[in-house]
Amino acid sequence: MTTRSREDVVQAAGRLFAARGFHGTSMRDLGDELGLLGSSLYSHVESKEQLLIEVVQRGAALFQALADSVAASDRPPAEKVAALVRGHVDIITSNQEQSATFLNEARFLPADGRTAIVILRDRYEETFREVIAEGVARGAFRDQNPALASILVLSVLNALTRWYRRSGAQSPEEIADAMVAFVMDGLQ
Amino acid sequence: MTTRSREDVVQAAGRLFAARGFHGTSMRDLGDELGLLGSSLYSHVESKEQLLIEVVQRGAALFQALADSVAASDRPPAEKVAALVRGHVDIITSNQEQSATFLNEARFLPADGRTAIVILRDRYEETFREVIAEGVARGAFRDQNPALASILVLSVLNALTRWYRRSGAQSPEEIADAMVAFVMDGLQ
DNA sequence: CCCCGACGAACGAACGATTGTTCGTTAGCC
DNA sequence: GGCTAACGAACAATCGTTCGTTCGTCGGGG
C-alpha cells in the first residue's frame, strides 16, 4: 500500500464534494475513498473547511487564467467570445469535479473565503460583459444589455458541469462547436 | 402565536433547502425558521427525507404542467419554444426556492424517489427536444442536434434559479424577453 | 552490509457537539 | 373536556477533530 499525498486528498475532496456535496461528505467518507481512516487525513490537511477552500481556489484560478489570457489578446470581440467559450468548455471537460465544486459548493465557504471567491467570480463575469459590450459598440453584436447577455452565455457554459460525461455522445470539441454556434447566434 | 400547518413546514423547507442545501439544513434550523423546536415539526411531517420528496415533487409538477400544456397546443415550433421559455421563467420567478431545491437537491433523494424525479426531468427535456426537432424538420430552425440544443436552452433557463433576485434590475418580463431573443436566435 | 534511530504516515480510541427522531407531558383552542 | 400542536428531555448515531501509539521506510554509523 502506497502512502498518500496532500494532493491525493485535495483531488479526492474535489471528487466527493462534487458528487455528494460538502455537507454530504464526511471526513470518514473521504478516508474511505483513499483507503484511509478519516482521522488519518489530518496528517495532510488542517481541516475539512481548508480542504474546501483549496478545491474552490484551484477551480477559480483555472477560469481566471483563461479570462486574463483572452482579455489581454488583441482580437475582435467575436473571436474573443469564441475563445472564452472554447476555453471554458476545455476547463470543465478536463476538470469536471473541481469545476463543479467551485460552482456549487463555494457558498459553503466561511464568510471571508466566500467573499474572496465572489470577487473572483464577478471579475470573470466582468470579462464576458466587457467583451460583449465592445462587440455591441462595434456593431458586431446586436444592441442588447451586456450584463444580461453575459449571464446568459455563462449559464450555457456553467451548466456543462452538470451534464458532461466523458463517455457521452458528444466530444468536448463537438460541444464547444455547438456552444460557439449557439452563443454567437444568440448575441448577433 | 398562531399554530403552523404542514404547508408552512413544506414551504420553509423549500426556502432553507435552497439556501443552505438539504444536508446543510437541520430539523432544528427548520424549527427556528418557523419559531418552533425541531421536534415539533414531527407533528406535521414524517421525516426530513419526506419533506425533501414533497418539495421536489411540487417543483417537478410545476414544470410538467407547463410542458404538457405547450405540447398539447397547436402552434408552430417557434411559438412553442417561446411559450416554453416564458412559462419556465414565470415558474422560477414565482417559485424560486422550490425550483432551486428541485434542480439542486433532488440528487439527495432516496434511490426510488430519485429515479422517479429523473424520469420526470427527462420527460420535460424531451418536450423541448421534440419541439426543436420539429422546428428543424420544418426549416424554422437551422440544422442541428435537437438533443444538444435542448440541453443548451434548458441551461439558460435553469440557471435563472441561481441569479434571479426579486429586487434586481430586470423584471421577469424583461428577463423572459431577453431569453426568448437569445434562444430563438441561437436556434435559428 | 547490516543495524538502528528518526521521522512522517496511518491507526484507532476517544472527545464533545450535533444529527434525526421518539415520547411522555403541557398548553391552548373548539 | 377533548384534540392536537408544541414542548423538552432523551436516544443512538454520526459529525469534525485530537492524541497517543504503531508501522514502514530511509539515511548514516559501526
- Domain assignment of residue B109, yes or no: yes
Cα-based distances in Å from B37 to A9, A39, A60, B44: 38, 33, 39, 12
Among B103, B69, B70, B92, residue whose Cα is nearest residue B176: B92
Cβ-based contacts under 8 A for chains A and B: 80
Residue A3 to chain B, least CA–CA distance (Å):
31
CA atoms within 13 A on the CB side of B131: 31
Identify the domain containing residue B162 by its residue range.
52-187
**Percent of chain A topping pLDDT 90:** 95
Q: At what angle do helices A172-187 and B172-187 cross, to 10 degrees?
A: 120
CATH number at A122 reads 1.10.357.10
Helices (H), B106-145: 111-137
- Domain assignment of residue A16, yes or no: no
Confidence of residue B187 (pLDDT cuts 50, 70, 90): confident
The pLDDT tens digits of the residues spanning A98-135 come to 999 999 999 999 999 999 999 999 999 999 999 999 99
Q: A-chain residues within 8 Å CB-CB of B182?
A: 149, 152, 186-187
- Protein contacts on strand D: list nucleotides below 7 Å from a Cβ: 4-10, 14-19
Mean pLDDT of chain B: 96
Residue found under cell 467551485:
A102
Number of domains in chain A: 1
- Domain assignment of residue A11, yes or no: no
C-beta atoms of A152 and B147 within 8 A = no
Amino acid at A47: S
Residue A23 to chain B, least CA–CA distance (Å):
5
Query: Shortest CB distance from A185 goes to which of B175, B179, B188?
Result: B188
- Domain assignment of residue B46, yes or no: no
Question: Distance between CA atoms of B155 and B125, rounded to whole angstroms?
Answer: 11
- Domain assignment of residue A32, yes or no: no
The pLDDT tens digits of the residues spanning B108-157 come to 999 999 999 999 999 999 999 999 999 999 999 999 999 999 999 999 99
Q: What is the ipTM of this complex?
A: 0.91
Q: Is the pLDDT of residue A44 over 60?
A: yes
Question: Distance between CA atoms of B185 and A187, rounded to whole angstroms?
Answer: 8
Question: Distance between CA atoms of B139 and B143, rounded to whole angstroms?
Answer: 8
**Percent of chain A topping pLDDT 70:** 99
Q: Is the pLDDT of residue A145 over 60?
A: yes
